[in-house]
Amino acid sequence: MTVRLAAGRGRRPSISAPLELQSPPARAAQRARWARQPGLGALGLLLALPAAVLLAFGAGGAEPSLLVLAPLVTFGLPVVAMVAFWWDDWPGSTLRASWSGWADTVLVAVAAVGLTLLGQAVVGTVDMRAVFDPTPAGLPTFPATMPLAGAAFVAMLQLTLVCEGWPLRDRLGRTAAGLAALAVAWVVAVVVDELVLDRLLAGPELGALLTLVGAGQVGVFVLWRGWPVARSGRRAVRLMAGNALVLGGAGLVYGLTRGVDPGAVSATAGCVVATGLLYGMLFEGFLRDRLPAATERAVLLGLTVVTAAGLALALRRYAGTVAWTRGSPDEWVTHASLNAIGVGVILHVAIGRRWPFGRSTSAARSAVEAAEQGLRRA
């Protein structure tokens, strides 16, 4: 699944656009994917989960990966969103399918290093060694740069999903709009870092609030595909309602959990993000032909909550066996869920286009008629 405009410049992304507003090729591809679920999602786990394990442990264990990979991955997330959701997988889309995802992943990795260095410059001093060394002599990237990185990603998703790319998609071409969105997200992040961090909210509290916003973004605009705001035909109504729902909901939950350890709030919300991406992207539409729309949303929400609780319990149980020195169990749970699992899913589905398990366009069309009949019956 990629997030494209429903039909031309200025239209909403297909991830939250009603099916009838999407182009015929987009509808055909989407219905073909639904017809192959849940098997298609199960196959995707064969690639998404190893990628998640690599990000959670690949720097030499849980704590070194938290200290080194968490900042790199978090700074890379806005670039992942730009490539997948603004550029429609370009420049990898110019290559054959077996190379497309790999090329985009290399681009994201290189950009992640560059943006981490830029993050260092914002919060302190640029130190290339500190980017890759879990115990640097200078200012470490974790946790110093994490509020900035998290704010940039949340701002990018808010602009991409909740605000439908407006007004950048109306005024700029695909490549320029994506770069402009990345720049806007960074401006917002710097403002948050300078005016909110340690003035209005301490680092852990800001992290909890940002992660709750991310959970709302994924829940409404990925898991529920923009419901209930996507049904409105007026963009102003959708944008105001969507922003109020996501930001207001996150603020409400944050207020209700003020007495809870903010690290635990972040870890739990990170697991919600991860499982929301699993059901909303990897297993996209696996209940669509089987249940009425309202029942489907209720079941998806229940599955997400139950799976997130199980994931949080399992990750916390493992984290409790690690002798932590600089990081904490909750910080690693947040990284292992939101960053590791989330990135693994997005890279496979939105950037890698489910390679090698996806079908060619001609093969996809051959499955559309059966899917359309099931949709009509539903």
pLDDT in tens, 16-70: 666 777 778 877 878 888 889 999 999 999 999 999 999 999 999 999 999 999 9
The pLDDT of 241-245, averaged and rounded, is 97
Per-residue pLDDT at 32: 85
State the pLDDT at residue 139.
87
pLDDT value for 298: 97
Whole-number pLDDT of residue 359: 59
User: Among 5-19, 44-58, 70-84, which stretch is predicted with the lowest mean pLDDT?
Assistant: 5-19
CA-CA distance, 21 to 9, in Å (whole number)?
13
Percent of the chain with pLDDT over 90: 75
Q: Looking at the predicted structure, is the pLDDT value of residue 241 above 60?
A: yes
What's the pLDDT at 14? 65
Contact 224, 298 (CB under 8 A): no
Query: Angle at CA 95, nearest 5°, toward 97 and 107?
Result: 100
Return the closest-CA partner of residue 316 out of 257, 264, 253, 279: 264
Per-residue pLDDT at 95: 87
Q: φ, ψ for residue 10 (rounded to 5)?
A: 90, -10
Residue 158: predicted pLDDT: 97
Q: Residue 217 has which token pair? A: 């973004």
Please give the pLDDT value at position 88. 85
- Confidence class for position 242, pLDDT limits 50, 70, 90: very high
- 143, pLDDT greater than 70: yes
Number of helices (H), then strands (E), in the chain: 17, 0
Which tokens belong to 110? 């290189």
d(CA 167, CA 312): 38
Q: Give the residue-averaged pLDDT of 177-202.
A: 97
User: Residue 373 above 90 pLDDT?
Assistant: no
Q: Average pLDDT, stretch 251-256? A: 97
Spacing of C-alpha 354 from chain mean position:
16
Is 154 within 8 Å of 210 (Cβ atoms)? yes
| Structure confidence at residue 115 (pLDDT) | 98
95 burial (CB, 10 Å; 0-12 / 13-18 / 19+) is middle
User: Where is mean pLDDT largest: 85-94, 119-128, 206-215, 355-364?
Assistant: 206-215
User: Lowest-confidence range among 28-37, 67-76, 239-248, 300-309?
Assistant: 28-37
Q: Which amino acid is at 253?
A: V
pLDDT given at position 364: 41
- Residue 216 pLDDT > 60, yes or no? yes
What is the rounded average pLDDT of the residues 238-266?
97
Element (DSSP H or E) covering residue 108: helix 97-123
Q: pLDDT at residue 367 above 80?
A: no
Assess contact for 157 and 220: CB atoms under 8 A: no
- 27-36, 59-68, 161-170, 202-211: segment of lowest average pLDDT: 27-36
Mean of the per-residue pLDDT values of the chain: 90
